[in-house]
Every structure is written in C-alpha cells, then in structure tokens.
Amino acid sequence: MPLDVIMPALGMTQDTGVLIAWNKSPGDAVAEGDLLFEVETDKTTMEVEAQGSGYLTDVVAAAGEEVPVGQVLARISETPEGTGTTAEAAKDEPVETDDQAGAEIPQGEQVIMPALGMTQDTGVIVAWHKSPGDAVKADDILFDVETDKSVVEVQAGHDGFVAALLAEAGEEAPVGGVIAIICEKKPEAPFRRSVTAQVAAAPSALAAVKTAPKTTQPAPTPKKSLPAKSAPAANGRILASPKARRLALERGLDLARLVEHGHPQPFHVKDLDVLENLPAATTQPLSTAAPARYLSAEIASNGFDEFASWAAKEAGLTDAGALLAAFAGSSLGPSDVTVALEAFGTTRLYAVRGRWLGDLTEADPDAAPDLRLRDLRFGRLSAVQTGPENTPVLSVMASGAGLKLTLECAAEQMDASAVITLLSDFAGRMEQPLRHLL
C-alpha cells in the first residue's frame, strides 16, 4: 500500500513550509532513511528522511512552493509507475471505522501532531483534556503529548467545538498527522476513533489537508535526473542544510563564496568540498582587517525569568544559567554547540546537543566554545560594544521591563545572514520561551 509523504510540522505554530528541494526524482528507488527532501520555515531548515522503502511517485509539489502542514507532497509506492491518482484525491474519500462505520471526517480546523524535536517522527497521546462535542477556546489545553524527551501540554489553537478526536490516549500518531477536528458550530454527531481504526480504514486520512480550495492545475513534474536546486531566496538569505552551516562554521568557510561562484543552492555537506577547492583567494579565512559585525536587538518583555521559575518548579531545572546557555546554543545551531556562559565573574562551559533542555550537559573545561554568552542582566550596563574576539560574543542586558541583546563577532566568524538569524532567534526565545522551545 502506498505511503503518503506529507509536509511535516517543525513547530507548534507552523501552518506552512517551503519545499526547498527534492533529493529524489519521480520513479527513483527510495530506501527508508534516505534523504528525501528539504523544508524551510521562518525558524529553521530541516532535511526530511523517507519513512519507508519503495519508489517516489505522485509528486504534487515542486521546489520553491509553500505547502500547508499535513498536505501530501508525494507517495512512496511499490512500483515506479505511481498510483494513477493524485495524492490529494484520497482526502475526499469517506472514512469508515469499526467504531463508527460510515462516519466521515467533518470539515473544520485540523489539529495535527506537533513536532517537539527535529528528529521526532511520532508522538504519544498521553491524555485528552476535551471530549467530542465540548466547546473549546484557542488557548485551552487540548491534549498532552509525549516523546522520548518530555511531556508537553498542547493548546487547541482554534475557538469552536471538538467535532472529532482521531487518536486515543496511549496511542502513537505520526508527526503532521491530523488527530482532531475543531469546527465553528456545535457538531450534530461528534465522534472519536483510534489511530489503528483510522489507518485501517484510510491510510492517508491522518495526513488530511486543511480545508481550502484545491488547485486543479497539476504541479510540474521533475525530470528523471536529480532536480535542479532552488535559486537563492529573494531576501538574499543563503539556503543550506543545518549540518552544512555548522561544518562551514567549524572549518572557517564562507558559504557566500559559493554564491559568488554561481554554485546552485541549497548547499549540502558535499558542497563544502567544492568550497574548499575553490581558488585560494576565495576559500582562505577573511583577513582580520575585515570589518567586524555588530548587531543589537531589544525586546519589550522578558519572558525568560518567568520561564526559568516554571522550569525549576515543574521540571526540576534549577540552573537558570544552563537554560540561558541552552537558548543561546540552540539559536546558533541545531546540535553540538559549546557555549561559554560568563556571569557574576565566573565562566561555565555547556554542551548543547539539541533543542531539548534535557540534552544540555556541562562541557569539558578545556573545550573551545563556539559562542561566548555574557549575562549582564543584573549589572548597570545599558549598552556594550567591545569589539570582536576569537569567538562570537552574545551579551544580555536589562532594559526596562525587557532586555537588550548585543552580538559581536569578526566578519570571518559568521556571515551577515547567520548573525541576523542567531540574534533574531535568541530574541524570540527570550521573549516567548515556550513557543520557541517547541
């Protein structure tokens, strides 16, 4: 039976994602775990692996398109010829289950299984806080979801009534899969069914698209060879996989040089070999005489202190400095980042291994930090500009009821796009910690 390939959810508030590039072409053989495509949101870029083996068929989205979360992009089929139907057609088929035969999934706003981590494929429903037919507000807690890292309360996200629950407590549902429907008016026949019954009746139902007019014009079909990589983003941002960015930073390579030489984007790890083999004048680290990068930001409200108190009480995370280092490290890169936290005259090194606070550990005292974080919130400084050091420096200061953030680095340490991304992401985490943590 064909396996649907859907646009994943990389965050709780994400509605769409931009398909950067396909790494397989229609008809290509696909093995489980193969890099299938890349997707970008306003927060991150992620490489998505195939969740099954077979052949890539029924591609309905092309590189560069913005696609709703949960929408089917393609299928992995048993044969390279495809199924003969579009991936979206299956959404309109009635769904029958053992518990409510003939019941169709009602129209309404769809609640999907969120992604609480970059490598998460599924989540377990711990408990529902609402029942079918119940009234619900957008900020009401609808359900609890558990991954191998933590348990998180998830809000409904919409006002209305619970028309259907499509997973039972204790069941595992795929990320991006529809697990509940919320409609504007009180439903006449609200219902609930299990994931098992849902999949048995209609395997594609968990990946139903949001209610919206469907296009009647088919998406362009890529050629049999590897599709051409997408052009640079309109805002000048360099498109590259997270791993390629991290390794380029570690090797002192400037991805902008690939852009200058017309190398197609997005860039991957293999493109770093091309970068290193460019003429020496373009691959050598920039001169120390190059201009420094200085960027500052202000946020009106400080959400970090309240979050730190909550984390200490509810999760036993009493080291506020470690939380601060985790936010900074996660803003710099998806994994394997060492942060040197300077506060109250002392320096502590933290190893940030991912977006999860549970992955944070103290680093080897002799480790070279990727980022130096200065916590100046409790001092009298209102601005700082000391010039670049051998490591990028991120300073946090109090500013009224909010915070002022400053990032300084040498030009060869980070390109302009990376500086803006780091400071913007860190500012968002400090203002709304829970939203950016997910």
**pLDDT tens digits for 159-180?**
999 998 888 887 888 877 888 9
Name every residue whose Cβ is closer than 8 Å to that of residue 291 and which is 6 or more positions away in sequence: 411
Has residue 102 got a pLDDT over 80?
A: no
pLDDT of residue 355: 58
**What single string gives the DSSP state of each residue in 248-261?**
HHHHT--THHHHHT
In this structure, the answer to whether residues 307 and 433 fall within a common structural domain is yes
Closest CA to 148 of 177, 124, 131, 181: 124
Closest CA to 123 of 134, 114, 132: 114
Comparison of pLDDT for 282 and 117, the residue scoring more? 117
Diameter over CA atoms, the chain: 73
In this structure, the answer to whether residues 64 and 173 fall within a common structural domain is no
pLDDT of residue 395: 93
Has residue 303 got a pLDDT over 80?
A: yes
Count other C-beta atoms under 10 Å from residue 410's C-beta: 20
User: Binning pLDDT at 50, 70 and 90, where does residue 382 land?
Assistant: confident
In this structure, the answer to whether residues 433 and 361 fall within a common structural domain is yes
Please report, to the nearest 10 degrees, the dihedral formed by the alpha carbons of residues 152, 156, 162, 166 taken in order.
Answer: -50
Comparison of pLDDT for 352 and 286, the residue scoring more? 352
pLDDT of residue 42: 61
Mean pLDDT value across residues 428-438: 75
CATH value at residue 152:
2.40.50.100
Phi then psi dihedrals of residue 351, to 5 deg: -100, 115
Count other C-beta atoms under 10 Å from residue 376's C-beta: 17
pLDDT of residue 199: 54
Has residue 244 got a pLDDT over 80?
A: no
In this structure, the answer to whether residues 190 and 257 fall within a common structural domain is no
End position of a domain, from candidates 183, 207, 231: 207
Residue 253 falls inside a structural domain: yes
Torsion sign, CA atoms 222, 226, 231, 237: positive
Has residue 282 got a pLDDT over 70?
A: no
**pLDDT tens digits for 130-151?**
888 999 998 898 988 876 556 6
Half-sphere exposure for 364 (CA within 13 Å, toward CB): 4
Mean pLDDT value across residues 294-312: 88
Contact (CB, 8 A) for 415 and 256: yes
In this structure, the answer to whether residues 355 and 420 fall within a common structural domain is yes
In this structure, the answer to whether residues 428 and 344 fall within a common structural domain is yes
User: Binning pLDDT at 50, 70 and 90, where does residue 437 land?
Assistant: low
DSSP 429: H
Has residue 119 got a pLDDT over 70?
A: no
The winner for highest mean pLDDT among 128-142, 213-227, 265-279 is 128-142
Has residue 128 got a pLDDT over 80?
A: yes
Residue 236 falls inside a structural domain: no
Total domains in the chain come to 4
Residue 230 falls inside a structural domain: no
Q: What's the rounded Cα separation, in Å, for the pair 424 and 422?
A: 6
Contact (CB, 8 A) for 392 and 252: no
Domain span at residue 151?
92-207
What is the model's pTM? 0.37
Half-sphere exposure for 49 (CA within 13 Å, toward CB): 11
In this structure, the answer to whether residues 46 and 154 fall within a common structural domain is no
In this structure, the answer to whether residues 247 and 187 fall within a common structural domain is no
pLDDT of residue 40: 80
pLDDT of residue 96: 38
Beta partners for 182?
Answer: 109, 162
Comparison of pLDDT for 126 and 427, the residue scoring more? 427
